[in-house]
Structure 1
Amino acid sequence: MSDVTRTPTGLTQHSGTQGGIGASTLRPDGTLKVTGEFAYASDLWHEDMLWGFTLRSPHAHARIRSVDVSAALATGGVHAVMTHDDLPAATRYGLEIQDTPVLADGVVRHHGEPVALVAADHPETARRAAAKIVVDYEQLPVVTDERTATADGAPVLHPDRTDPHAAHVPHPNVVHRQPVVRGDVAAARARADVIVTGEYEVGMQDQAFLGPESGLAVPAEDGGVDLYIATQWLHADLRQIAPVLGLPEDKVRMTLSGVGGAFGGREDLSMQAHACLLALRTRRPVKIVYNRFESFFGHVHRHPAKLRYEHGATRDGKLLFMACRIVLDGGAYASSSPAVVGNAASLSAGPYVVDNVDVEALALYTNNPPCGAMRGFGAVQACFAYEAQMDKLAAALGLHPVEFRRRNAMAQGSVMPTGQVVDSPAPVAELLRRVQALPLPPQRQWESAGGATDVRALPGGLSNTTHGEGVVRGVGYAVGIKNVGFSEGFDDYSTARIRLEAVAGEPVATVHTAMAEVGQGGVTVHAQIARTELGVARVTIAPADTRVGSAGSTSASRQTYVTGGAVKHACEAVRERVLELGRARFGTYHPAWASAELLLEDGKVVTDGGEVLAALADVLGEESIEVEREWRHRPTEPFDLRTGQGSGHVQYSFAAHRAVVEVDTELGLVKVVELACAQDVGKALNPLSVTGQIQGGTLQGLGLAVMEEIVVDPVTARVRNPSFTDYLIPTILDTPTLPVDVLELADGHAPYGLRGVGEAPTLSSTPAVVAAVRQATGLALQRVPLRPEHLTGT
């Protein structure tokens, strides 16, 4: 078979001679993406390939009585049709719990669940053939919320579950439950001068990445398969796919292809196993590319949530207690719901000192779409609720919202509700001060000096719905706390392989990891680390694949921390070998080679005083040095299943936002004028990339605040809006000015003192926008996303 045509992320990337740590180095893939030359996974091609298509269930809960594929198989150009009965080995997979069928196993549990696969010589042929498959469904009662999931006689969606959480939940339709109990809430409630309560709701948000799920599976002569795929975690995919195919892991070789965004939506399998199954069945390469409709059904979403909070404080604004109940809708399958529950519970009090807490967080199995990882991972839902509570308390006490937060802000040395001591900087009060101190945008920006109206600056924008009548301004604040890295005792490590050699008289470093570059800029930072540690100008980033050890997932704001740590660790080992080689070759010529303080800088071996001992290329000669190293952050531990106590997180990150909005109170339209952020990043390894991450996370939080929601029919559990026609995401016209104030307070436990950046701004941006709308309208606004009817009472 001919070689597969690969994308730029499947080719060696040269980063040029740009700077090391602390420089705003440009991305090697940036120009290609801006000009449209970058090849994503959807651009993969093989001259002999077939096209795969997935038949999905039109029902949310049904028993499959029969499947007739005869008409599909008889269609010209069709090479294979597969159902559950055709699977060669394991029939279920899952990130944490193996409860997700590869193809529906006699029962469908959500709208859009995969039922059958078709491989044909043209994508339209595959679609037409799939439409000919006749499935006889017997519809079953649907479970859509906590009431229907836990009522007496409720359908048990996974009656055969054997996962470790099953013994610790109050009902089999509860995926996981995590309490957090500390102090004495009842006694604190009795002492409180002010008590506020609130019930809040967060809708189902989609990651809405622009590059749909796609990949190419190529059968190999050894009976294995090579998969070129857009994903977030190559080795987690491998661990799940190999048993499904009945193959050992070394027969399933995976290479990362161009990823068009992820945000958590590519952590779970989508079409990976399907493409491989069809390729092995047909002995032909098989490509699957979802259209947008399929993409909405093909990946997990953010958990919708219902939250009830109660807070008590003294007259002088000191928090005494917090009690809350958080119910997350996990949908039909577990995905990463147990970890999301752990995050929501452990971070439910926010970045505040409160000694008495009583928390219950849980996730449900329902017949709604499966939910799992999305940027913020359980902390987003909690932040919306506790920040609304902070505003309520401030109003009840007659304090400015920032002042009340400042009086209760945690700092280094504070104790989390889980009992974990925050042992690195926690500049919550400073971030609030900084974001409050930023200048406000001018009023009435829609009016020119001559009195003319620029409708583009008004709510409704170019739709020309208003000329400023009924438009009022509001300002709101919020701050959030997010964990970094995998938690609760997970063995969170990464692997890096570094090779150093002389090429045409110039030292060249090659960095090889399995890190998924999904847009976060890891390919840039890893090159910067290599330049800094090895003193070389030229760094090559090798393709990410499973020929090197796991790098973990590109999620949890962990890649720069953990895989960056692995790159640094491996580079340090390479540097030691270089110095050993140099001492052996040149040590007799200069006594300084015996020094322990030798450095690699600008392609040379130098003393700490700057004296040049040798050119690095001369030290290397014809030899190459290659080292592979694993690196782990300090260990965490599981939360106690009764009390929630435990040092469950490795690091915390903090961000604060100030939102300025203008609201048309007659039409219920909102324009976010400005959304400013202050965030502590520990150390900005690439300041330009850091700013981009903060702005991107901020904009996703804005989307959740005012427009983004997958709407699920509460009776049928069918998705109503699986398209970008009806699921709205912010465009450039919705994007306000996004000032960013970066604070760098090093975390002594992390490489270079860095702190994970990507998720924290997604937390506080949503409640800041809603707080500003509340301030403008005087309305309670306890649900996101906001809709016009919430603001007009219609």
Structure 2
Amino acid sequence: MADTRTTGIPANVTQGSQTKGGIGESTLRPDGTLKVTGEFAYSSDMWHEDMLWGQILRSPVAHAEIVSIDTGEALATSGVYAVLTYDDLPTDVKNYGLEIQDTPVLAHGKVRHHGEPVALVAADHPETARRAAAKIKVEYRELPVITDEASATAPGAVLVHEGRDDHHAGHVPHPNIVHRQPIVRGDAAAAAERADVIVTGDYTFGMQDQAFLGPESGLAVPGEDGGVDLYVATQWLHSDLKQIAPVLGLPEDKVRMTLAGVGGAFGGREDLSMQIHACLLALRTGKPVKIVYNRFESFFGHVHRHPAKLHYEHGATKDGKLTHMKCRIVLDGGAYASASPAVVGNASSLSVGPYVVDDVEIEAVALYTNNPPCGAMRGFGAVQACFAYEAQMDKLAAKLGMDPVEFRQLNAMEQGTIMPTGQPVDSPAPVAELLRRVKAMPLPPERQWETTEGSDVRQLPGGLSNTTHGEDVVRGVGYAVGIKNVGFSEGFDDYSTARVRMEVVAGEPVVTVHTAMAEVGQGGVTVHAQIARTELGVTRVTIHPADTQVGSAGSTSASRQTYVTGGAVKNSCEAVREKVLEIGRAKFGTYHPAWATAELLLEGGKVVTDGGEVLADLVDVLEGEAVDIELEWRHRPTEPFDLRTGQGNGHVQYSFAAHRAVVEVDTGLGLVKVIELACAQDVGKALNPLSVLGQIQGGTIQGMGIAVMEEIVVDPKTAKVRNPSFTDYLLPTILDTPTIPVDVLELADEHAPYGLRGIGEAPTLSSTPAVLAAIRNATGLELNRTPVRPEHLTGT
């Protein structure tokens, strides 16, 4: 597996100390062994004495008036402690939401999507709760469903949200549009006149599920002070808190939240699921209440990736230079807003891709429909756009008779390029180099399934189903590259808080790092310990459980946690170091003039000068004292995009990845085997190389999944989900996973801590179009939708 690193870290960026387990080392995860052996405690494993079980009754239809609800039979069921409907909610605040508070805690008046929560039950056994929920009688009067742009904006269309009143409504052309973001730069119409070739394309991107392994779950425990303690798997404790407390009618300090074990997230836990429901039942019954979704319910209990329709036009001169780009992106946001406005901002601002195009005309919108709500998922709007613009690059290259990689390199952005929003790219943007590197990797051997013993069917399309031994199998190779923003954008006050405590325990210096960062599998708990070891020179570092007793760490999303919360940990560690040095100067300043004159550092548990002279053991410095500092850290500010032109410095940082896909296609049966997905990615600084590799490979496979198998299928007539299970929603397994060689660049961003660059999302972008490009290369078919199914390859 290739693992070449090019280091370009400027002198003013800290390289890290030589303390064992510090920055730059592949330290092992503290939770890793427990997770792979099955000993790790996830939120669904929690237990409390005298605990009740919560159950949610969900709507069986997508759009209907609620005529009546009868809870009598459910309440009469033995073992049932409470049944709640909308009328039982304790305050006038009955809605919540990430950006727009349009999601009801329980349906009122009507339901807007299949699976919407209607009523709650608490009982002494999970089966009792389920049986009681089934006894609740709800009479529905079905309404017409809105499922696409045509039905959403047609004259006289039914409104998904009547009387809509929110901060985005003023500039959208129809109440069934959540948000609209145009971007206009230059003169695309005039530039089109200079084009020697113009290509257009209409693309369809399917609805993808985050498919995390741990279902939504949590435990709410009522407190003696009238408050509640909630232990929950989430991505953003403080965002949850701000939405939960008003509905409960409690001040935020009486809703105490602690992160429980999280079995993956990928954006699906940014929105609330069972949090408010469990708290309501706990406060009503006075008993702890646990809620755990089954897999069927989980498909309805969280948002999904926005499906999209995308229309693109590109022009180029005969020598291969792009002249202009026009596009229109329509994202289906489903019944509630969730993160749709921000997804629209990302999709529009990144719709050109990592290319230089001076003249653009862009429009992106998100719809309200009666389809399942959609919101955050790894890649966040940039994934859908990348699928379309990379297909366009291949079309242009083919029409010009150019190599597709060379065509991309000719038009690749670099540091200093001006984005369509008018924002300059002010850190390394090695797009051409990433493409060069990924193309230079050795290709897997032809007919790799042939062995001396016969055919290794595992290497063939169809795999162990033994459908072919190489007949009708053709190979294809495809390339793609993508650009993803890092961190929250458009003027959002994106900050994190970290509390760092340094003390002597049993004669040894120890550091405790306390943040509200949600560890969802990305490895933040590992990196935070590495930062503390590097900045404080102390080997023993404890990571305090994440909770709301410390300031917000923001969301574990947008590839931001290592950048922003890691930056906060670094900032607080530096402040602790200065305080320790201050104490040391007070105690030992008369013994050595260097306390007052030298730049002092901590290494290996010693206070030292930059020359390495030991001045005092930390044990002596901190004897009888502890240094405890909590600080916030913010990256440089961003600004909202202009709602007419889309101009503005909206993003903090950009990340880039390129892929080469190699596929084998059985043209007779329409089956695809992805043999290899080679990746080259710039990570700025690999704080933990092993973790970096895992992030890149994991994102690559999620992108492959949407290319060839993953899609939530929604009936276009009823807006009902057809495949809410892992039996029918197909996921890549280890047998589907190709070889993933990775080439890592380290070109530092001088604006970021350690020069690092967010990693986790970029590989999800380019792997999808690379696989599609390879299948097109093998078959000669246009293939303008994801996922590709057998019938698309065989015409059946």
So what's the TM-score if we normalise by structure 2? 0.97
Aligned-partner residue type, residue 352 of structure 1 = Y
| 1:621-640 correspondence to structure 2 within 5 Å | 621-640=623-642
Aligned-partner residue type, residue 211 of structure 1 = G
Instruction: Measure, in 1, the Cα distance between the counterparts of 2:177 and 2:259.
Output: 35
> Match of 2:521, SS?
coil
| 1:272-287 correspondence to structure 2 within 5 Å | 272-287=275-290
Instruction: Measure, in 1, the Cα distance between the counterparts of 2:559 and 2:772.
Output: 25
1:364 corresponds in structure 2 to 367
| 1:21-420 correspondence to structure 2 within 5 Å | 21-89=23-91, 90-420=93-423
Task: Give the conservation status (yes or no) of the 8 Å contact 1:202–1:783.
Answer: yes
Residues 236-265 of structure 1 deviation map (CA, whole Å, 9 limit, x = unaligned): 000000011011101100000000000000
Shift of 1:456: 1.1
Aligned-partner residue type, residue 744 of structure 1 = E
Residues 258-303 of structure 1 deviation map (CA, whole Å, 9 limit, x = unaligned): 0000000000000000000000000000000000000000000000
Aligned-partner residue type, residue 754 of structure 1 = L
Residues 394-426 of structure 1 deviation map (CA, whole Å, 9 limit, x = unaligned): 000111110000000000000000000000000
Shift of 1:47: 1.3
Instruction: Measure, in 2, the Cα distance between the counterparts of 1:634 and 1:114.
Output: 40
- After TM superposition, the structure 1 stretch with the greater mean CA deviation from structure 2, 326-335 or 155-164, is 155-164
> Match of 1:762, SS?
helix
> Match of 2:750, SS?
coil
Gaps of 5+ in 2: 1-18
Instruction: Measure, in 1, the Cα distance between the counterparts of 2:618 and 2:758.
Output: 33
Task: Give the conservation status (yes or no) of the 8 Å contact 1:562–1:632.
Answer: yes
Instruction: Measure, in 2, the Cα distance between the counterparts of 1:107 and 1:241.
Output: 22
Residues 102-154 of structure 1 deviation map (CA, whole Å, 9 limit, x = unaligned): 00011100000000000000000000000000000000000000000000111
Structure 1 runs of 4+ off > 4 angstroms?
none
2:12 corresponds in structure 1 to none
Shift of 1:18: 4.7
Shift of 1:595: 2.3
Instruction: Measure, in 1, the Cα distance between the counterparts of 2:109 and 2:604.
Output: 64
| 1:222-621 correspondence to structure 2 within 5 Å | 222-450=225-453, 452-621=454-623
Instruction: Measure, in 2, the Cα distance between the counterparts of 1:753 and 1:105.
Output: 50
Task: Give the conservation status (yes or no) of the 8 Å contact 1:352–1:410.
Answer: yes
1:6 corresponds in structure 2 to none
Aligned-partner residue type, residue 302 of structure 2 = H
> Match of 2:279, SS?
helix
Instruction: Measure, in 1, the Cα distance between the counterparts of 2:515 and 2:392.
Output: 44
Shift of 1:467: 1.1
1:723 corresponds in structure 2 to 725
Shift of 1:590: 1.1
Residues 296-323 of structure 1 deviation map (CA, whole Å, 9 limit, x = unaligned): 0000000000000000000000000000
Task: Give the conservation status (yes or no) of the 8 Å contact 1:223–1:251.
Answer: yes
2:649 corresponds in structure 1 to 647
| 1:756-775 correspondence to structure 2 within 5 Å | 756-775=758-777
> Match of 1:404, SS?
helix
Aligned-partner residue type, residue 198 of structure 2 = I
Task: Give the conservation status (yes or no) of the 8 Å contact 1:678–1:741.
Answer: yes
Aligned-partner residue type, residue 313 of structure 1 = A
Task: Give the conservation status (yes or no) of the 8 Å contact 1:346–1:418.
Answer: yes
Instruction: Measure, in 2, the Cα distance between the counterparts of 1:489 and 1:686.
Output: 30
1:13 corresponds in structure 2 to none
Aligned-partner residue type, residue 263 of structure 1 = F
Task: Give the conservation status (yes or no) of the 8 Å contact 1:72–1:132.
Answer: yes
Task: Give the conservation status (yes or no) of the 8 Å contact 1:18–1:25.
Answer: no
1:675 corresponds in structure 2 to 677
Instruction: Measure, in 2, the Cα distance between the counterparts of 1:533 and 1:719.
Output: 50
> Match of 2:640, SS?
coil
Shift of 1:505: 1.1
1:7 corresponds in structure 2 to none
2:3 corresponds in structure 1 to none
Instruction: Measure, in 1, the Cα distance between the counterparts of 2:167 and 2:619.
Output: 55
Shift of 1:566: 0.2
Counterpart pick for 1:781 among 767, 783, 792: 783
Residues 529-548 of structure 1 deviation map (CA, whole Å, 9 limit, x = unaligned): 00000000000000100000
> Match of 1:783, SS?
coil
Residues 353-402 of structure 1 deviation map (CA, whole Å, 9 limit, x = unaligned): 00000000000000000000000000000000000000000000111110
Instruction: Measure, in 1, the Cα distance between the counterparts of 2:475 and 2:105.
Output: 51
Counterpart pick for 1:752 among 754, 769, 772: 754
Instruction: Measure, in 2, the Cα distance between the counterparts of 1:425 and 1:717.
Output: 45
Task: Give the conservation status (yes or no) of the 8 Å contact 2:598–2:609.
Answer: no
Shift of 1:449: 2.9
2:793 corresponds in structure 1 to 791
Aligned-partner residue type, residue 227 of structure 2 = G
Aligned-partner residue type, residue 87 of structure 1 = L
Instruction: Measure, in 1, the Cα distance between the counterparts of 2:459 and 2:623.
Output: 63
Instruction: Measure, in 1, the Cα distance between the counterparts of 2:593 and 2:349.
Output: 56
Aligned-partner residue type, residue 526 of structure 1 = H
Task: Give the conservation status (yes or no) of the 8 Å contact 2:235–2:270.
Answer: yes
Aligned-partner residue type, residue 629 of structure 1 = L
Task: Give the conservation status (yes or no) of the 8 Å contact 2:314–2:392.
Answer: yes
1:4 corresponds in structure 2 to none
Gaps of 5+ in 1: 1-16
Aligned length: 777
Instruction: Measure, in 2, the Cα distance between the counterparts of 1:162 and 1:137.
Output: 26
Aligned-partner residue type, residue 307 of structure 2 = P
Instruction: Measure, in 2, the Cα distance between the counterparts of 1:617 and 1:656.
Output: 49
Task: Give the conservation status (yes or no) of the 8 Å contact 1:212–1:292.
Answer: yes
Task: Give the conservation status (yes or no) of the 8 Å contact 1:226–1:254.
Answer: yes
Counterpart pick for 1:697 among 686, 696, 699: 699
2:738 corresponds in structure 1 to 736
Task: Give the conservation status (yes or no) of the 8 Å contact 2:59–2:115.
Answer: yes
Instruction: Measure, in 2, the Cα distance between the counterparts of 1:665 and 1:616.
Output: 69
Shift of 1:596: 3.8
2:11 corresponds in structure 1 to none
Instruction: Measure, in 1, the Cα distance between the counterparts of 2:32 and 2:548.
Output: 25
